[in-house]
Amino acid sequence: MSELLSVFLHLLLFKLVAPVTFRHHRYDDLVRTLYKVHNECPQITRVYSIGRSVQGRHLYVLEISDYPGFHEPLEPEVKYVGNMHGNEVLGRELLLQLCEFLCEEFRNGNRRVARLVQDTRIHVLPSMNPDGYEVAAAKGPNSSGYLVGRNNANGVDLNRNFPDLNTYIYYNEKYGGPNHHLPLPDNWKSQVEPETQAVIQWMRSFNFVLSANLHGGAVVANYPYDKSLEHRVRGFRSAANSPTPDDKLFQKLAKVYSYAHGWMHQGWNCGDYFPDGITNGASWYSLSKGMQDFNYLHTNCFEITLELSCNKFPGQEELQREWLGNREALIQFLEQVHHGIKGMVLDENYNNLAGAVISVSGINHDVTSGDHGDYFRLLLPGTYIVTATAPGFDPETVSVTVGPGEPILVNFHLKRSMAQASPVKRAPSGGRRVRVKVQPRGARKKEMEVKQPRRGPA
Ligand SMILES: [Zn+2]
- Cα–ligand 1 centroid distance for 270 (angstroms): 15
User: Active-site residue among 307, 317, 447, 449?
Assistant: 307
307 noted as active-site residue: yes
- Cα–ligand 1 centroid distance for 85 (angstroms): 5
pLDDT of residue 222: 98
Segment 64-86, tens digit of pLDDT: 999 999 999 999 999 999 999 99
With 90 as the cut, is the pLDDT of residue 4 above it? no
Cβ atoms within 10 Å of 146's Cβ, excluding its own? 12
Q: Residues with Cβ < 8 Å from 122, sequence gap 6 or more?
A: 63, 64, 65, 78, 79, 80, 102, 116, 334
pLDDT of residue 418: 85
- Cα–ligand 1 centroid distance for 158 (angstroms): 9
Segment 19-62, tens digit of pLDDT: 457 999 999 999 999 999 999 999 999 999 999 999 999 999 99
- Cα–ligand 1 centroid distance for 110 (angstroms): 33
Mean pLDDT for all residues in the chain: 89
The Cα–Cα gap between 372 and 374 comes to 6
Cβ pair 228, 238 in contact under 8 A: yes
pLDDT of residue 440: 36
Segment 331-342, tens digit of pLDDT: 999 999 999 999
pLDDT-derived band of residue 229, with 50, 70 and 90 as boundaries?
A: confident
pLDDT-derived band of residue 146, with 50, 70 and 90 as boundaries?
A: confident
- Cα–ligand 1 centroid distance for 267 (angstroms): 19
Segment 394-442, tens digit of pLDDT: 999 999 999 999 999 999 999 999 875 555 455 443 334 333 333 333 3
The Cα–Cα gap between 235 and 218 comes to 26
With 70 as the cut, is the pLDDT of residue 220 above it? yes
Q: Which of 64-78, 199-213, 219-233 shows the lowest mean pLDDT across its residues?
A: 219-233
pLDDT of residue 111: 98
pLDDT of residue 19: 45
- Cα–ligand 1 centroid distance for 457 (angstroms): 4
The Cα–Cα gap between 95 and 117 comes to 16
Rounded to 10°, the helix 166-175/291-298 angle is 50
Segment 97-115, tens digit of pLDDT: 999 999 999 999 999 999 9
